[in-house]
Structure 1
Amino acid sequence: MSNNEILNYLKNAKIDTTVLKKICKYFTEDYTAIQTAQKLNLSRQTINNYYKIIRSLLLSKQDEIFYLLKNNHLSNNSFLIKYVKNGPYINYFIEYQKKAFIFENSENIFPNLQEFINENIHLQLQNSKKTNSAKVSFDKKENKYTLLYLTKSDESIQDFIQNRLKKFRGLNKNNLFLHLKESQFRYNHSQDVLYETLLSLLHLKKSNMTYTSTLKQAPSLVL
């Protein structure tokens, strides 16, 4: 679903602005859907629907961050490519300017990077017990990556994600990608930034809100 379709869905669901803000607040504080449902005296299915909406909108916001990286071209700057040996469905993170990102093979954002990893880094990191990361530079003019050296960096990002996912018992694999991206955002930003981001994405800062004053059970949402 597109962002506009999601926002139209919220209007049709007739959710009260105050309640939606509370859902965002509990989400920000990393409450599970069950915990939030109990706090607000709503069904778990209702909260799950809104949590899916929030995660989907957050995913689009994180795409902006990747395009910011693209626009900066990482040119003349070094960055870390970190290999994750036991991460859930994750092979690499990119660490840049004290932020960590799950690497996706996107040629539009990181042209030829997957090929560079496969040819120059993967086997070395996979077989090494002393290193887990590669320091890499990118030359914009040459459109070329260069391996500077292998190193050992902390495992805070993967530990953070894995510890978060443990509390979601019976996590649906179809929703795993959204949870991973959510964890990434939480790792890179404070709770205050997350909350303000959600209010902005849901248009809760505007004075011309059209949501009505009663909360109804939200219809099931397929994303």
Structure 2
Amino acid sequence: MGKEEILSYLKYAKIKNETLKKICYYFVEDYTAIQTAQELNLSRQTINNYYKIIRTLILFKQEELVSFMSENRLCNDSFSIKYINLGKNISYFIECNKKVFVIDSKENFLPKINEFIEEELEESLLNNKRTNCAKVLFNHKEKNYMITKLYKSSNLMQEFIDKRVKKFRGVNKQNLQLHIKESQFRYNYSTDYIYETLLSMLNLNNKTSTI
């Protein structure tokens, strides 16, 4: 479902704008669907439906961010590569400019980053308990990478995701990547920013709401 389809759907939905704002608020505060349903006296199915819509919008927003990063070269020439380990499912991410960007096989703002990790970095990171991070230089002209050092570093992204997984009592394997992407968005931005962004995307920010 695209953004325009979502807005069209909401236009004819029975739910009131003020209620939708409250659903956004509780979503941003990371309430479970059950908790939000109890707070608003709505069915869990209804909340799950709107949570799915909100998560779809978040993915659209992240795609815009990745495009912006690529076009403006905001990582400059140096960044860190770390990894998240969830039940032996490894996901790598780039850390730069106080933001994190999960690397996937579909789209990345740095060319051939997956090949670089697999061929030159993965074994060193995963098989050495004394290191969990790589400092990398990227040559934009030659389109290649160079590891400057491997070292032990804090992994706040891992801690952040672990806390959310525990809160939701685990994550279905099929939804794992979506969970990581959502966690990435939450990690990168404040709750106030996410809330205002959602209201803007849903055309709800022209009215006030009291929670």
**TM-score (norm: length of structure 1):** 0.85
Give the match for residue 202 of structure 1.
202
Give the match for residue 216 of structure 1.
none
Taking a change above 3 Å as real, the CA distance of residues 185 and 107 of structure 1, as seen in their structure-2 partners, is: closer
What does 1:55-74 align with in structure 2 at a 5 Å threshold?
Answer: 55-73=55-73
- CA drift at 1:139: 1.3
What does 1:1-223 align with in structure 2 at a 5 Å threshold?
Answer: 1-73=1-73, 76-86=76-86, 89-106=89-106, 109-169=109-169, 171-206=171-206
**Counterpart amino acid of 1:182?**
E
- Secondary structure of 2:177's counterpart equals helix
Taking a change above 3 Å as real, the CA distance of residues 91 and 196 of structure 1, as seen in their structure-2 partners, is: same
- CA drift at 1:87: 5.9
- CA drift at 1:205: 2.1
Q: Distance in 1 between matches of 2:26 and 2:107?
A: 36
- CA drift at 1:77: 2.3
The percentage of aligned residue pairs carrying the same residue is 58
Q: Distance in 1 between matches of 2:111 and 2:44?
A: 42
- CA drift at 1:88: 6.5
Taking a change above 3 Å as real, the CA distance of residues 33 and 108 of structure 1, as seen in their structure-2 partners, is: closer
Q: CA RMSD in A?
A: 1.9
Q: Which segment drifts farther, 122-131 or 87-96?
A: 87-96
- Secondary structure of 1:58's counterpart equals helix
Unaligned runs of 5+ in 2: none
Residues 54-109 of structure 1: per-residue CA shift (max 9 Å, x gap): 01100110111111221133574210011334467342111011111211134562
- CA drift at 1:25: 0.8
RCO higher in structure (CA 8 A, sep ≥6): 1
Taking a change above 3 Å as real, the CA distance of residues 170 and 162 of structure 1, as seen in their structure-2 partners, is: closer
Taking a change above 3 Å as real, the CA distance of residues 75 and 6 of structure 1, as seen in their structure-2 partners, is: closer
- CA drift at 1:39: 0.7
Taking a change above 3 Å as real, the CA distance of residues 196 and 88 of structure 1, as seen in their structure-2 partners, is: farther
8 Å Cα contact 2:137/2:146 also seen in 1: yes
**TM-score (norm: length of structure 2):** 0.90
Q: Which segment drifts farther, 146-155 or 198-207?
A: 198-207
8 Å Cα contact 2:82/2:155 also seen in 1: no
Q: Distance in 1 between matches of 2:87 and 2:41?
A: 35
Unaligned runs of 5+ in 1: 208-223
Work out the number of aligned pairs and report it: 207
Q: Which segment drifts farther, 41-50 or 1-10?
A: 1-10
